[in-house]
């Protein structure tokens, strides 16, 4: 069993790969130029909501220590407990995949009131792409002209899905993909060994928090088993419906991400002619040499659509069967 990784709490310093954006935010705050509408974005599994939480904590802290919240004042304690009256969390409610207009309307009303404890009010919209169109439109005026001393912090891993009018009203800060050295240093703090970290980082395609998940559970084994089914279909050695049903039974949303990654590998090798680093992708490359680039990109796109479909009512078994049918017929 792996040791627990050093996951920061919202009042701690952020992950090391957030440093560049964090320093920019703190410099603007120090100079009193921090915008009131902020859009933070990153790749998946890079902790963008953690960065938003760190910023919110810093803004309401009454005894801040330079570039981080103190974690001890009343504001920090209430924030950590999720009960600070001047902090608003806008996220999908239970059993919902979207942020609804009623949530935005209630927030817009409350944000006009004077802060009751902190020196400002802060709203966290997460993930921002979960706002439906009506909710996003209802937020526009408040983004443009926040009432009083208020900050609205949106976090997103898919900023392109946001309305252009939402993006244009926010100052945007994009966290760059984590440098391998920074991620490895972070893992080292937890006592992870290089021979453990390397396969996890390879499978995660450099996404640090996904690699952390792989190191703390059996996800690498699950991924390997999904890859076996994917490879058997490529070789004509397995029944399509059996494989599709086995994937559904996992109830694992990452299956679509894995399929997308493997197809991206095949597309890349079609362009470069180089071997794939991922053993599953390399086995497929050998089983299906000269695989059409256009087809691999099409299958990757279908996999990403499958990933997004998990937010809706579409049946995953049918989607997996459709994807595998396309994969088997090539």
> Looking at residue 285, which CATH number applies to its domain?
1.20.272
Q: Phi and psi of 176, rounded to 5°?
A: -70, 155
Q: Does residue 130 share a domain with residue 35?
A: yes
Residues 316 and 167 in one domain: no
Q: State the pLDDT at residue 13.
A: 67
Residue 161 burial by CB count (10 A; 0-12/13-18/19+): exposed, middle or buried? middle
Residues 240 and 319 in one domain: yes
The predicted pLDDT at position 323 comes to: 95
List the structure tokens of 230. Answer: 């994917």
Note the pLDDT tens digit of each residue in 199-254.
888 899 888 999 999 988 889 999 999 999 999 998 889 999 999 999 999 989 89
Helix, strand, coil abundance in the chain, percent, nearest 5: 55, 10, 35
Q: What DSSP line would sit under 165-189, residue for residue?
A: HHHHTSEEEEPPPPPHHHHHHHHHH
State which of 139, 174, 209 marks the end of a domain: 174
Upper half-sphere CA count for residue 105 (Cβ side, 13 Å): 4
Residue 281 CB-half CA count within 13 A: 22
Whole-model pTM?
0.84
Provide the token pair at 107: 């927030």
Please count the other Cβ atoms lying within 10 Å of the Cβ belonging to residue 247.
25
Residues 248 and 170 in one domain: no
Cα 224 from Cα 232, distance rounded (Å): 12
Q: Is residue 78 part of a domain?
A: yes
Judge if 121 and 235 occupy the same domain: no
Residues 156 and 249 placed together within one structural domain of the fold: no
Chosen domain end from 174, 198, 231: 174
Q: Which of 105, 140, 174 is the last residue of a domain?
A: 174
Report pLDDT digits (tens) over 7-65. Answer: 445 555 688 899 999 999 999 999 999 999 999 999 989 999 999 999 999 999 999 87
How far is C-alpha 112 from the chain's CA centre? 30
Three-state DSSP at 154 gives strand
Point out the least confidently predicted range of 58-62, 177-181, 262-266, 275-279: 177-181
As a whole number of angstroms, the distance between CA 227 and CA 127 comes to 30
The mean of the pLDDT values for the chain is 89
Question: Peptide bond before 26: cis, by omega within 30 degrees of 0?
Answer: no
For the chain, the domain total comes to 2
SS3 category, 248: helix
Q: How far is CA 143 from CA 32, 50, 76, 152, 183, in A?
A: 18, 21, 25, 7, 34
For residue 301, the tally of other CB atoms under 10 A from its CB is 12
Domain coverage including residue 27: 16-174
Q: Domain containing 139 — which CATH number?
A: 3.40.50.300
Rounded Cα–Cα distance for residues 256 and 324 (Å): 12
Is 209 domain-assigned?
Answer: no
Domain membership of residue 213 (yes or no) is no
In this structure, the answer to whether residues 26 and 120 fall within a common structural domain is yes
């Amino acid at each position: 069993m792996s040791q627990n990784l050093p996951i920061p709490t919202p009042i701690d310093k952020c992950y090391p790969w957030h440093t560049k954006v964090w320093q920019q935010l703190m410099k603007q705050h120090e100079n009193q130029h921090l915008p009131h509408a902020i859009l933070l974005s990153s790749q998946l599994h890079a902790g963008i909501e953690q960065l938003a939480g760190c910023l919110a904590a810093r803004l309401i802290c009454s005894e801040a220590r330079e570039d981080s919240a103190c974690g001890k004042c009343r504001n920090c304690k209430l924030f950590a407990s999720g009960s600070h009256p001047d902090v608003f969390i806008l996220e999908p409610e239970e059993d919902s995949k979207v942020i609804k207009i009623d949530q935005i309307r209630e927030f817009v009303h409350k944000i006009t009131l004077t802060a009751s404890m902190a020196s400002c009010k802060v709203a966290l919209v997460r993930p921002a792409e979960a706002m439906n169109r009506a909710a996003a439109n209802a937020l526009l005026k408040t983004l443009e002209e926040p009432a009083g001393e208020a900050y609205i912090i949106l976090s997103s891993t898919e900023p392109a899905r946001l309305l252009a009018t939402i993006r244009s009203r926010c100052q945007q800060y994009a966290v760059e993909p984590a440098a391998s050295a920074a991620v490895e240093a972070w893992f080292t703090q937890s006592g992870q060994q290089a021979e453990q970290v390397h396969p996890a980082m390879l499978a995660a395609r450099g996404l640090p928090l996904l690699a952390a998940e792989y190191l703390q559970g059996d996800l690498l084994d699950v991924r390997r088993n999904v890859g076996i089914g994917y490879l058997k279909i490529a070789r004509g050695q397995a029944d399509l419906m059996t494989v599709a049903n086995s994937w559904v039974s996992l109830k694992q949303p990452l299956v679509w991400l894995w399929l997308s990654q493997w197809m991206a590998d095949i597309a890349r090798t079609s362009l470069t002619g180089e071997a794939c680093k991922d053993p599953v992708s390399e086995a497929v490359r050998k089983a299906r040499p000269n695989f059409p680039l256009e087809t691999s990109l099409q299958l990757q796109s279908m996999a990403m659509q499958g990933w997004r479909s998990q937010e809706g009512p579409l049946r995953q078994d049918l989607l997996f069967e459709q994807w595998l049918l396309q994969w088997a017929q090539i």
